[in-house]
Structure 1
Amino acid sequence: MATTTATVDIPAPAARVWQLIGGFDSLPDWLPYIPASTLSEGGRVRSLTNGEGGVIVERLEAFDDRARTYSYSIIRAPFPVTGYRSTLTVHEASGGQSRVEWSGTFTPAGVSEEEAVALFHGIYTEGLAALRKTLEG
């Protein structure tokens, strides 16, 4: 099983950051390459549409509003992995700032571990940079 984690420090309070990203359906609000999200199964499944029209279906596995974290798995996606599970967490940092951590574990399928890690590390890093830009804008 492979794993990767990306973090970003954001000059905004954790409560404000969580308000933006804490909803399981909120990716289009801060992630430019996911322009659409549709919830089903009582809000526990999201169908994401990327800029090319591809669909990624994910299931909410755990949610803790007080701890500002949620975890999800992939049901269907064009990624070369199986057993994918990811967690997004907003931490309090000093000086009214926050640190956001996006991590994932998965098993590469048809690609090397290095390629799978590079793919998801890139997604997380670009996503967190977009989050910071959204909050600073």
Structure 2
Amino acid sequence: MASTSVSRVVPATPEKVWSLIGGFDALPDWLPYIPESVAAEGGRVRQLKNPEGQVIIERLVDFDETERQYSYAILQAPFPVDGYVSTIRVHAVPGRDDVAEVQWSGRFNPVNATEQEAVDLFTAIYADGLDALDKTLAG
């Protein structure tokens, strides 16, 4: 099983960051790669579309409001992996009340791709996503 993790300090309190990204159906609010999200099964499943119209279906597998984190599994996607589970966490930065650290991590089994190709793909997705979050919060 392969894995990757990217973290970024962003210009907002942990509470503000979580209020933006903590909803499982909130990706279009901060991630330009996902302009559309439709909730199903009482909000436990989200059907996403990327700008090319490709469909990504994900299931919420863990949610912790107190710890400001959630995990989800990909059920369907145009990615060369299976067994994908990812977690987004928002942490306080010790000694700072004006910023937060956001960590996006995932583990997966490459399919029709090398482990390095799959790691590079998700590392880039997470880094680009956190860059977009930073831009949204700074804007």
| TM-score, L = length of structure 2 | 0.97
Match of 1:122 in 2: 124
Aligned positions of 1:15-34 closer than 5 A: 15-34=15-34
**Structure 2 residues not aligned, in runs of 5+:** none
Deviation by residue 1:37-63 (Cα, 9 ceiling, x = unmatched)? 000011100000100100000000000
Deviation by residue 1:50-109 (Cα, 9 ceiling, x = unmatched)? 001000000000000010000000000010001000000000013111000000000000
Deviation by residue 1:7-46 (Cα, 9 ceiling, x = unmatched)? 0001210000000000000000000010000000111000
Q: For the residues of structure 1 that align with 2:3 and 2:36, how far apart are their CA atoms?
A: 27
Which of 86, 99, 102 is the equivalent residue of 1:100? 102
Question: What's the secondary structure of 1:122's corresponding residue?
Answer: helix
Q: For the residues of structure 1 that align with 2:20 and 2:11, how far apart are their CA atoms?
A: 14
Q: For the residues of structure 2 that align with 1:48 and 1:92, how far apart are their CA atoms?
A: 29
Aligned positions of 1:4-23 closer than 5 A: 4-23=4-23
Two-structure CA RMSD over aligned residues (Å): 0.5
Residues 1:84 and 2:77 aligned together: no
| 1:125 maps to amino acid | A
| 2:71 maps to amino acid | S
Match of 1:64 in 2: 64
Question: What's the secondary structure of 1:111's corresponding residue?
Answer: coil
- Identity among equivalent positions (%) equals 57
| TM-score, L = length of structure 1 | 0.99
Question: What's the secondary structure of 2:96's corresponding residue?
Answer: helix
Question: What's the secondary structure of 1:132's corresponding residue?
Answer: helix
